[in-house]
Amino acid sequence: MAEITRVTVIGAGAMGSQIAMLAALAGCETTVVDIDEQRTDAALTKVRGTVARSVERGRLDAEQVEAALPRLTSSTDLAGSVRDADFVIEAIIEDLDAKRALFAELGRFAPADAIFATNSSSIVSSRLADVPKPGRVCNMHFFNPALVMQLVEVVGGAHTSPATIESAVRLAERMGKTPVVVKQEIFGFIANRIVGAIFDEAIALLEAGVATPEEIDTAVTKGLGHPIGPFALLDMTGIDVNVGIKRLEAQETGDPSRGPSRTLLDLEARGRLGKKSGRGFYEYGAQ
């Protein structure tokens, strides 16, 4: 199996830029691609600052970071950026049509043996595998923040070759992550299905008037030992993001009851989107 040396990450958001930095730290020549040059420049500036602070805190080796920084570049040229790629990781918005359009372009411009991975935890790769040689398509789901969180879920469908899974696992290990192979395509995979059940129960308790968000979060952190409570975590990931995930869950499962709760819909309608807007279940002030 050929060693992965060139990685392209599509999407310069928080996840995409951190995944790209992980690839550069793992020794890969890495390009992060987005349609907006200002966005890619801002993403690289931010992620470079993040790793610099990690060096100061002793979490990353200074020499490793110094060697990695020249390997990480940005571009707005999708075709040129994937032309020589060994491994492409998609980290754009959670929209099926947008992802399908992107994978169609990857099928046109990337090498015939390049592996295509989607970072999505809600759209399985079989929905995106209408490309030449679909055996090279899989999910490779990182967790936010990608530079810190250790787990990577690697998921293949019936279309995915064992070699593709092995390559994704090996790349995750080179990045210093702990890969878990999910053996079936299932909505939410493992970790998000479990945390989703916690979110659902926490909101049900709130809506029933059993306890406040603060009290439920305290019970989860102090009683179960979780590092963060469900309402604080919903705020951190974004209320609108979670509304979208619940809508997709209802669509994918065919069960309308799996859609977003009235509490989440109300918060979204009022613009209380969590930490990014300064207000969600909690107040955060200007962000």
Could you list the active site residues? 121, 141, 153, 192
Q: Residue 286, class by beta-carbon neighbours within 10 Å (0-12 exposed, 13-18 middle, 19+ buried)? A: exposed
Residue for token pair 């935890």: 121
| DSSP element (H, E) containing 264 | helix 262-269
Label residues 169-196 b or e (16+ Cβ within 10 Å = b): bebbebbebebbebeebebbbebbeebb
Residue partners of 282: CB distance under 8 A and separation at least 6: 213, 231, 232, 235
∠ CA 202-205-211, rounded to 5°: 100
Residue for token pair 């989607």: 118
> How far apart, in whole angstroms, are the C-alpha atoms of residue 138 and residue 128?
9
> How far apart, in whole angstroms, are the C-alpha atoms of residue 38 and residue 275?
23
Q: DSSP string covering 167-202, please?
A: HHHHHHHHTT-EEEEE-S--TTTTHHHHHHHHHHHH
CB-based contact 30:196 (threshold 8 Å): no
Residue partners of 105: CB distance under 8 A and separation at least 6: 78, 79
